[in-house]
Structure formats: C-alpha cells, structure tokens
Structure 1
Amino acid sequence: MKKLLPLVLIFPFIFASCGKKLIEEGEVTYEITYPYMKVEGFMQAILPKEMTIVFKGSKMKTTIARGTIFSTDVITDESNEYMEMRLDFGDKLYYSELTKDEIKKLKESAPNYEIKETEEQDSVAGMYCRKYTVKSLSSDTLQPGDAWFTEDMAVQNGAWFSAYSSVTGLPVVYDVERYGLMMRVKATSFVKRKVKDSEFERPAELSPVSFATYEEEVQELFDILLE
C-alpha cells in the first residue's frame, strides 16, 4: 500500500494537467438568413447578411451591419453581466449602457424556449460543437431551429442575456428573434487572433441615450427595412 500511495497522489495532478485549454480570444463570422421571409428586391439589398463576434476573455462584441448603411454593436461581459448597445445609422449615432433592471427586462422579453441538450456533436466552421433542440413555448412566436454551441472558447455563457441563457458556451448556430424578425445565424469561419482592448472601445462620436430610446430607434430602423 505504501508503494501505491505516491501514484494515488500523482493521479489528480495528471488529470488536472489534461484539462481542456480554452481559446482566449478570436473572431467568429456568421451568415444571416431569414427562414420565415421571402427576401427579394429592396429587402435583399438592405437586410444584413453577416454578423461577427469578437471576443477576449469574458468580453464580446457582436456586430450586425449592412455596408455603410447601418451597424449595431452589442458589447457584453459575462463576468459582471455588463451590456452596452451601439447604433450607427445616418445621423443617429447612439449608445446605451443598460442598468441591471433594464437587462432584467430584456431577459424577460426574450422568447420562451424549451432547450434540450443532445448527445450529437459535430464541427461547425472548425469549432467543436454540441447540438441542442429548441422549441418555442409561446403560441405567438415562430418556431426556431436546432442550436449548436461550442465550449472551447473562454466565453462560457455567451448568450446569458437571451432566450439561450441556460446553455453553456458560445453560440455557433442559433436563431435570433427580435424587432419583428427571425434570423437564422450560422458560423461560417473562426479565426484565432489577438484582440486589442481598443476593439471594444466606444467611438467618440456616439451620444448616450436611454435603453428605451435606443430600442425605439433600432425598431424604427428595422421597420424601414421591412417596409
């Protein structure tokens, strides 16, 4: 027994050293499609087709843009549940730092989804992911598709403010239902790169507004896009 004791003491350190090393920073590019809409003509020219997530540690910047016409950024930090939203649309250059109460209301406004983890795993855009089945429990909302999340990134609760708040990891394939749209978002590429702190900095030309005002302005933008 005395000869075995050193090995018993060593095993925990061996297993600990074999733990998965998370990717601390990088950029994911996503394709946006609209499964419940016939997108053609003006809408095809104006609706966003791409989204990017830049992350470093627990911080994320999610950007949806359409050329130079408009862009929206959402800056989040899962470590302290910080959230800031930014809008660049013509002469409307705004940002809003959400309070705890506003974040709570944002979460409460999210669709009510039943999400179940499956055993199915696969690689999407070079990221190892797990599949989740998703079902809307609200009769007045559209049915989402399955979701895929990766746990290989430093971001371990990337969707903490959304209908997917119960899922661990960074979203790779999922649906976003907001502003009267259902967007299917699917990762197309991942680049592991150094991310500068300056990439999260707020442009000086943005003016502060309340979250309510920000939501009104973004809703107006999407109303214009959907006309």
Structure 2
Amino acid sequence: MKKIIYFIIFFSFSLLFNSCGGDTTTQEEGEIEYKISYPKMDKKNFMLDFMPRKMVMKFKEDVYSTNLSAGMGMFRSSFICDQNNNQFIQQVKLINKKYALQLDGDGIKKSISKNPSFTVEHTTEIKNILGYNCKKAIVTVNNEKQDAFTVYYTDKIGLKTPNWCNEFADIDGVMLEYQYEKYDVCMRFTASKIEFKEIDDAEFEISKDYKLISEPEMDKEMKEIFESFN
C-alpha cells in the first residue's frame, strides 16, 4: 500500500514539474502575453495612456499571430506569419475602418528589404524569463543613428525559425524580450505569461470583413495612426 502511495506522489510531482514551462518543454501550441513599454517616449506625453500596453502571440504548427489593441478597442492590429504557406498577413482596424495586407514569397522579402537591416551579435549571457534560460543577443540597427538594443530568446518553444518573416531572421528562437521601431514609435516587448493550450485555427485566417489593400496604402494608414500618438 505504501509503495502505491509513493508512486502516486512521485507521479503527481513529475506531472507538476514537467508542466511548469522552463527548459523542459518544446510544446508547439499556445500563447505568449507580452507587456509593451515605450523607452523613447516622454513619460509626460499624455498620449502614452492611449498606446497599446499588451500584445498576445498565439502559435500552432509553425504558424503564429500577434494581436494588440488600444483606445478601448478602437484600434486593433494583428500580424499572421504562416511559414507553411509562405504567407504574411497584416490586419488593422481603426474605429470603422478595417484593412488587410497579404504578402507571399518574394513580396515578404521585398517588404523586409525596405526597412533598415539588423546586425546581430550573439553572446554567451543568459537571462531567465518565466523559467526559460534565454540567450542574449545585441542588435544594432543599420541606420544613421546605429541604434542598439538587447534581445533575449529561447529555442525551447516549438516554433521553427519564428523570425523568418521579419528583420530578426538571424535570431533562431522565440524572442521573449525584444524591441522594434517603426513609424517613429519604439516599442519594447517583454513576455509576462506563457500558456500552452489548444488554439483555434481561425486565429490564423484573414477576416472576411477586412478590405484588402496594397502595402503603400497600408503604410499610409499606419503612419497616420501613429502620427496621432506622437
């Protein structure tokens, strides 16, 4: 009887430790919640209160989507990166306007080439984020300012080459802390929660009520939105 009790206790603890994240898992379906901060924005800027404060990334079978919103849902933006079909989708909602951009293959490469490239210096430093021992990289933006920032990433979350569709292609892992700047707005993302669970396939589909527009048209819309935040 004692042996049975010991076995039950041992088995229960094994399940507990194997489900707590960290470097013991490479699960391939779930979501990551990121806290968003604005390192270059004046803390006294009243528009800071209207900026997105959270982003949610959902992933499944080497496909992922990122979603953020602001202004009590009046502004929403999402990206879908589907490596299996070599497809990138951006969706933007501003009050009653709903636009979508869809790029495939060479269109993705051409879009990335329009932005400043990144030089990545990999280091041996490690930072623990939510139980994951993340590798540190120093990223330098190849622009006039030569801006540099740190990135922390892990290869223990089951997304194959997750940065294939952006400028971070030299970072082979899921970034749990990183920085990105566009439309004169600098955003820093820091993972605050990771949960492995079933994700609905609908999360990776383009919404039918969004109007497909070209990349120049989408850039114009996004610039107007972020100019209002500045």
- Aligned pairs, how many? 206
Contact preservation (8 Å) 1:126, 1:189: no
TM-score normalised by L of structure 2: 0.82
| Equivalent position of 2:171 in the other structure | 167
Corresponding position: 1:71 with 2:76 = yes
**Root-mean-square deviation (Å):** 1.8
Unpaired runs of at least 5, structure 2: 1-23
Corresponding position: 1:148 with 2:155 = no
TM-score normalised by L of structure 1: 0.83
Identity among equivalent positions (%) equals 25
Corresponding position: 1:178 with 2:191 = no
What is the CA deviation profile of residues 163-221 of structure 1, one whole-angstrom value per residue up to 9, with x for unaligned ones? Answer: 21111011111111111111111111111111111222333321111122112111111
Using the TM superposition, give the Cα deviation of residue 99 of structure 1 relative to its aligned residue in structure 2, in angstroms.
3.5
Contact preservation (8 Å) 2:86, 2:104: no
2:87, 2:153 → 1: CA distance?
21
2:62, 2:225 → 1: CA distance?
30
1:105, 1:172 → 2: CA distance?
26
Corresponding residue SS for 2:121 = strand
| Equivalent position of 1:6 in the other structure | none
| Equivalent position of 1:17 in the other structure | none
From the superposition, tell whether residues 212 and 102 of structure 1 become closer, same or farther in structure 2 (CA, over 3 Å). farther
| Equivalent position of 2:90 in the other structure | 85
Unpaired runs of at least 5, structure 1: 1-19
Structure 2 counterpart of 1:61, from 65, 68, 87: 65
What is the CA deviation profile of residues 16-68 of structure 1, one whole-angstrom value per residue up to 9, with x for unaligned ones? Answer: xxxx8621111111111111111435312211111111000110001121131
Which stretches of structure 1, 4 residues or longer, exceed 6 Å deviation after superposition? none
Contact preservation (8 Å) 1:102, 1:211: no
Contact preservation (8 Å) 1:76, 1:84: yes
Using the TM superposition, give the Cα deviation of residue 119 of structure 1 relative to its aligned residue in structure 2, in angstroms.
1.4
